């Protein structure tokens, strides 16, 4: 998972490539199919990333461990996080500013930004620890004033 580049820059590079793939898929198969293919690919990538972050070990990580990873996504001021609750079984926070959203808008990718970024969040948990579940009712990327991340671990 560790990268010499901040996550925001990694996502910028990925988005530039995925935009071209999305445009070709859209032209050949229509918007719905293009979005479906992009969604599936991003979710698969996020699950694999979660597995990679988790690493190998006998015990699955909890939400305290997961919270320790937040700085990876905050790097370079990419996110402004308002922490609400942190424990091994519950993690609640809001994102008050998301430069990922701003970057996708600058790239003209408002139509698919949520597929490229927001879609990753719950899927990453599946790979990291399948007992961690994300509930989110809104995102900045889709026009809300903040993103509400609510994680639980059974």
The CATH code of the domain that includes 47 is: 3.30.1380.20
Domain membership flag for residue 2: no
Pairing verdict, β 132-135 and 90-98:
unpaired
Residue 95 DSSP one-character state: E
User: Does the pLDDT at position 3 exceed 60?
Assistant: no
Helix (H, G, I), strand (E, B) or coil at 111: coil
- The pLDDT of residue 25 is 98
Cα–Cα distance, 145 to 139 (Å, whole number):
8
| Per-residue confidence (pLDDT) for residue 56, from 0 to 100 | 79
pLDDT of residue 59: 87
pLDDT band at 57 (very low <50, low <70, confident <90, very high): confident
Which range of residues forms the domain containing residue 135? 7-153
2 pLDDT more than 60: no
Which letter does DSSP use for residue 87 in this model?
A: -
Give phi and psi for 34, each to the nearest 5. -60, -45
- Please report whether residue 1 resides in a domain: no
How large is the average pLDDT for residues 48-67?
91
pLDDT band at residue 1 under the 50/70/90 scheme? very low
Inside any domain, residue 96: yes
Dihedral of CA atoms 49, 115, 41, 32 in degrees, nearest 10, equals 170
Q: What letter does residue 36 receive in the DSSP assignment?
A: H
Percent of the chain surpassing pLDDT 90: 93
- pLDDT in the model for residue 58: 77
Q: How many domains does the chain have?
A: 1
Q: pLDDT digits over 131-145, tens only?
A: 999 999 999 999 999
Q: Reply yes or no on whether the pLDDT at 27 is more than 80.
A: yes
pLDDT tens across 110-137, in order?
Answer: 999 999 999 999 999 999 999 999 999 9
In a domain, 139, yes or no: yes
DSSP string, 95-122: EEEEHHHHHHHHTT-TTTHHHHTHHHHH
- DSSP assignment letter at 75: G
């Amino acid at each position: 998972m560790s990268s010499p580049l901040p996550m925001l820059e990694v996502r910028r590079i990925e988005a530039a490539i995925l935009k071209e793939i999305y445009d070709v898929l859209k032209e050949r198969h229509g918007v719905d199919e293009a979005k479906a293919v992009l969604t599936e690919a991003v979710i698969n990538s996020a699950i694999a990333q979660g597995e990679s972050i988790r690493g190998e070990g006998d015990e699955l990580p909890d939400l305290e461990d997961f919270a320790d990873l937040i700085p990876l996504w905050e790097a370079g001021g990419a996110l402004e996080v308002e922490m609400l609750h942190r424990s091994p079984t519950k993690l609640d926070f809001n994102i008050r500013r998301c430069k990922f959203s701003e970057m996708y808008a600058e790239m003209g990718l408002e139509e698919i930004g949520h597929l490229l970024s927001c879609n990753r969040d719950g899927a990453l948990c599946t790979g990291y620890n399948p007992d961690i579940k994300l509930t989110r009712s809104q995102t900045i990327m889709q026009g809300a004033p903040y993103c509400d991340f609510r994680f639980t671990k059974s």
